[in-house]
Amino acid sequence: MSPQNPTPSHAPEIHHDGDVRRFATTVDGAKAYLDYRQADGVMSITHTWVPAEIGGRGIAGQLVRAALEHARASGLKVEPACSYAAGWIQRHPEYADLVA
């Protein structure tokens, strides 16, 4: 696999907490997360956060991918209100069909 798509053994475990509308992971003791809102069949990705100490490892992209895969499996459309998520989707056209 390419460096942009690490093998699953190198990917952090991402947890979805639907009660607080967040996908999160902890890497080397630092928490990274993606927040969203959901209404009328649309998941609006509002914020992606990865602390500097674990930045540059593709973690934000893995959070966005997890959120998009959840949206697809749930039959939701996606509004990438977060600039990172919007740019990520532009670089990954296989998810363009999800954009509301």
Q: Does domain 19-98 have CATH number 3.40.630.30?
A: yes
Using alpha carbons only, give the angle 55, 59, 60 rounded to the nearest 5 degrees.
90
Band (pLDDT 50/70/90 cuts) for residue 2 is: very low
Residues 6+ apart with CB under 8 A from 99: 77, 78, 79, 80, 89
Residue ranges covered by each domain of the chain: 19-98
The reported pTM is: 0.88
Determine which helix (DSSP H) or strand (DSSP E) holds 100, and give its type and residue range.
Answer: none
- Over residues 18-62, the pLDDT tens digits come to 999 999 999 999 999 999 999 999 999 999 999 999 999 999 999
- Over residues 69-90, the pLDDT tens digits come to 999 999 999 999 999 999 999 9
